[in-house]
């Protein structure tokens, strides 16, 4: 998309450069990085952290919320939850400063002059996606948002999601300022996914970097990401790009776009389709190639959300939704080699004395 740089509140993904990343939050920055790397992602823009910061300042929320925050009894779960709800309610009910709201509206209307393009509105926090701080709780995603009014509303809802009880408690325990943590929001064209899921460029079970492991289901990927359904599972050998394992799950529900209702609906899958693979082998390989190229470009193992868009033609219908560094195995120190290897004829001798199958 070619959205202009409206102001310092809005930045289209394809206009962003490295210097903009801190204000875009992890998710938006990762999308911008993917575009720069030549990966197809759905079009969209970031509502930058400045929009949130100014919203707090100008609306007076900063002091209102500050007062509530000061009274939270940290450690008292019930109190944390109650106050958190109150904070979120305040954020959601406070109007945006008009110039900020106008900026968001015009960015959306530029994508959708007829004011009806379905978009996803997602939080893009500034801390959550750092490789060494994988704490969740700020992953609010609103799908199938189809008007400028609703976009504005859900942007505010994303900001409010900074204040769930777990996040508040985490920040308190780590001496992070509650109101200093900023948030950006991603507004992105919705994918009409016929299949979607997650691809990891290593085997999450054992860290094996020769594998790409793909979870996939029919419809949109959210139920796969959140673990609400058991997805199909594919393992691809990364160098040879061969599907080495397929476990096809019985999938009884799918989250799909309902154009008429303008929302996503959780639909029961007809019995004859439940045990069909959600991806053909060819598509599995395409997803694996996408993940592999992202790993190569980002320089470390990646965790990629992807979708196959039913509206796009075959061969150009695979899009990446987000890619972030894998955090579990990447943290582990490489183990020193357990043994030393003989070379040349000594090596050959060792192999003759103890061939492979004897070691298995």
Partner 1 sequence: MTSHMKFPSPYELKAPKGAEGWEELYPYYLLFNDKIRAKEEGKFWFCDSQHWPSPFKPFDTITVEFAVKCLGQYNTRHYLIPPANGVDYRIHNGYCYMSPLAVAPENIAARVPQFMDRAGHYFQNWASLLDNWMVKVKANIADMEAIHFEPLPEVVPVEWVKEGVGLDNTYFMMESYDRAIQLLYKTWQYHFEFLNLGYAAYLDFFGFLKEQFPTIPDQAIAKMVQGVEVDLFRPDDELKKLSKLAVKLGVADALKIGTADEALARVATVAGGKEWLDAWKAAQDPWFNFTSGNGFYSTDKYWIEHLDIPLGYIRDYIAKLEKGETIDRPTEKIAAERDRITAEYAELLSDELRPVFEGKLGLARAVFPYVENHNFYIEHWSMSVFWRKMRELSAILHGQGFFENADDMFFLNRQEVRDALFDYGNAWAVGGEPIGPVYWPEVIAKRKSILATLATQPPQPALNNPPEVITEPFTIMLWGITSESIARWLDGGSDKSKLTGMAASPGIAEGRARVIRSADELDLIQEGEILVAPVTAPSWAPVFGKIRATVTDIGGMMSHAAIVCREYGLPAVTGTGNASSTIKNGQMLRVDGATGEVRIIG
User: Which residues in this chain contact partner 1 in the complex, by CB under 8 A?
Assistant: 208-211, 237-240, 242-244, 281, 334, 336-337, 341, 343-345, 347-360
Q: How far apart are CA 123 and CA 139, in angstroms?
A: 6
Q: Where on the phi/psi map is residue 286: left (φ > 0), alpha (ψ -120 to 50), or beta?
A: alpha
Q: Minimum distance from CB of 248 to partner 1 (Å)?
A: 14
Strand residue runs (E) in 38-118: 44-47
Q: Minimum distance from CB of 255 to partner 1 (Å)?
A: 30
- Maximal C-alpha separation, the chain: 79
Q: Minimum distance from CB of 198 to partner 1 (Å)?
A: 21
User: For the chain, how are helix, strand and coil distributed in percent, rounded to 5?
Assistant: 40, 25, 35
Nearest to 183 by CA among 163, 165, 197: 163
The residue among 177 and 337 lying less far from partner 1, judged by its C-beta, is 337
Q: How far apart are CA 300 and CA 290, in angstroms?
A: 14
The residue among 97 and 207 lying less far from partner 1, judged by its C-beta, is 207
The residue among 316 and 336 lying less far from partner 1, judged by its C-beta, is 336
Using CA atoms, how far residue 275 sits from 42, 201, 250, 263, in Å, is: 29, 26, 5, 26
Q: Minimum distance from CB of 127 to partner 1 (Å)?
A: 31
The residue among 265 and 328 lying less far from partner 1, judged by its C-beta, is 328
Q: Minimum distance from CB of 246 to partner 1 (Å)?
A: 9
Q: Minimum distance from CB of 237 to partner 1 (Å)?
A: 6
Q: How far apart are CA 345 and CA 359, in angstroms?
A: 20
The residue among 67 and 343 lying less far from partner 1, judged by its C-beta, is 343
15: which DSSP letter?
G
Residue that is written with structure tokens 């701080």 in the block: 133
Query: Is the CB of residue 320 less than 8 Å from the CB of residue 41?
Result: yes
Q: Minimum distance from CB of 351 to partner 1 (Å)?
A: 4
The residue among 97 and 204 lying less far from partner 1, judged by its C-beta, is 204
The residue among 106 and 330 lying less far from partner 1, judged by its C-beta, is 330
């Amino acid at each position: 998309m070619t959205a202009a740089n409206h102001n310092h509140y809005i930045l289209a993904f394809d206009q962003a450069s490295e210097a903009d990343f801190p204000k875009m939050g992890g998710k938006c920055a990762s999308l911008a990085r993917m575009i720069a790397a030549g990966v197809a992602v759905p079009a969209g823009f970031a509502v930058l952290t400045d929009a949130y910061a100014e919203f707090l300042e100008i609306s007076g929320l900063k002091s209102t919320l500050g007062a509530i925050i000061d009274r939270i009894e940290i450690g008292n779960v019930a109190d944390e939850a109650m106050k958190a709800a109150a904070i979120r309610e305040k954020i959601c009910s406070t109007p945006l400063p008009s110039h900020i709201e106008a900026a968001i509206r015009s960015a959306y209307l530029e994508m959708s002059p007829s004011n009806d393009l379905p978009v996803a509105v997602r939080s893009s926090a500034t801390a959550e996606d750092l490789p060494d701080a994988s704490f969740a709780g700020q992953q609010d995603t609103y799908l199938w948002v189809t008007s400028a009014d609703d976009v504005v509303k859900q942007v505010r809802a994303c900001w409010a999601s900074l204040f769930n009880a777990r996040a508040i408690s985490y920040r308190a325990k780590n001496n992070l300022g509650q109101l200093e943590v900023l948030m950006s929001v991603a507004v992105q064209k919705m994918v009409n996914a016929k299949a979607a899921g997650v691809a990891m460029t290593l085997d999450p079970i054992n860290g094996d970097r020769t594998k790409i492991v793909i979870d996939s289901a029919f419809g949109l990927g959210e139920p796969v990401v959140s673990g609400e359904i058991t997805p199909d599972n594919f393992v691809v050998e990364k160098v040879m790009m061969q599907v080495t394992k397929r476990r096809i799950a019985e999938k009884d529900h799918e989250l799909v776009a309902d154009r008429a209702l303008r929302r996503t609906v959780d639909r029961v899958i007809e019995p004859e389709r439940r045990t069909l693979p959600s991806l053909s082998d060819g598509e599995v390989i395409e997803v694996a190639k996408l993940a592999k190229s992202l790993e190569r470009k980002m320089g470390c193992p990646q965790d990629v959300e992807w979708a196959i868009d039913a509206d796009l033609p075959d061969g150009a219908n695979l899009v990446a939704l987000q890619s972030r560094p894998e955090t579990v195995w990447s943290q582990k120190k490489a183990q020193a080699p357990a043994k030393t290897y003989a070379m040349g004829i000594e090596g050959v001798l060792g192999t003759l004395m103890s061939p492979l199958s004897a070691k298995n």
